Amino acid sequence: MKGGKLIIFSAPSGSGKTTIVKHLLNQPELNLAFSISATSRPRRGKEKHGEHYYFMTLSEFKRHIKNDDFLEWEEVYRDNFYGTLKSEVDRLWAEGKNVIFDIDVVGGLRIKKKFPDQTLAVFVKPPSVDELKIRLKKRSTESDDKINMRIAKASVELATAPQFDVVIKNYDLDTALEEAHRLVADYIGVEVKNKI
């Protein structure tokens, strides 16, 4: 594996990393392509295979682990595996793109460790754990038990922030989007016109 730059956005669930990544993907001068993760969890709502995730059965996912097909993988919750296929990153690099990830903190740090010179690892920090809980409840996609599980995990994830290259505080979304855009543009060597 070789190729372009890797840009990782990691954060606890509900921090706004997905919103930031979507914003960056809409900036053509950054030449970004989204790395679609594989997962063994069931689809939610209107999620599509090959667009939101590569959905796999548990046995398929484990077969890929055995074959060393993943750049990184993790069992995030019991029997809910997530991972980045090497073939996905190769595919995007072959298109001449810089690859952007919306990924959990463990996966993000693993990729950074494997490609230290090609990776910008950004941690998105929410205003507080209480604010996270409010955001997750507003989504109305998960049970209270799942939300509590995510909140418990968030405290552990927040402690990893110093291991990332940069921490963006997402207290105000517009400010966070601007900061993320500037950071990524600087990293890949693209000049950003100041917004008036």
The pTM of the full predicted model, rounded to 2 decimals, is: 0.86
The rounded distance, in Å, linking the Cα atoms of 170 and 157 is: 15
Q: CA 130, 37, 42 angle in degrees (round to 5)?
A: 75
pLDDT at residue number 2: 64
Count Cβ atoms below 10 Å from residue 11 Cβ, excluding itself.
29
Q: Is 175 annotated as a binding residue?
A: no
pLDDT digits (tens, 9 = 90+) for 77-90: 789 999 999 999 99
Both tokens of 88, joined, read: 């996905």
Q: Is 11 annotated as a binding residue?
A: yes
Most confident of the following: 124-138, 147-161, 167-181, 182-196: 167-181
Domain 6-187: top CATH class? alpha beta
What's the N-to-C CA distance of the chain in angstroms? 41
Domain ranges of the chain: 6-187
Nearest to 98 by CA among 83, 115, 110, 113: 115
Q: Kindly give the pairing relationship between strand 54-55 and strand 38-39.
A: parallel
> Is 19 labelled as part of a ligand binding site?
no
Asked if residue 12 belongs to a known ligand binding site, the reply is yes
Residue 15, marked binder: yes
The answer on whether 138 is annotated among ligand-binding residues is: no
Read off the amino acid at residue 78. R
Contacts of 147 (CB under 8 A, 6+ apart): 133, 136, 137
Angle at 96 between CA 94 and CA 97, to 5 degrees: 110
* Res. 96: pLDDT tops 70: yes
Residue 18 marked in a binding site: yes
What percent of the chain clears pLDDT 70, i.e. is strictly above it?
Answer: 96
Contacts made by residues 152-161, CB under 8 angstroms, sequence distance 24+: 153/12, 153/13, 154/12, 154/13, 154/14, 154/126, 154/129, 155/129, 157/10, 157/11, 157/12, 157/104, 157/105, 158/12, 158/125, 158/129, 160/105, 160/109, 160/123, 161/123, 161/125
Whole-number pLDDT of residue 196: 37
Structure tokens at 79: 């029997």
Question: Do 195 and 174 touch, CB atoms closer than 8 A?
Answer: no
- pLDDT at residue number 57: 97
Q: Is 16 part of any known ligand binding site?
A: yes
Taking 50 as the threshold, does the pLDDT of residue 55 lie above it? Answer: yes
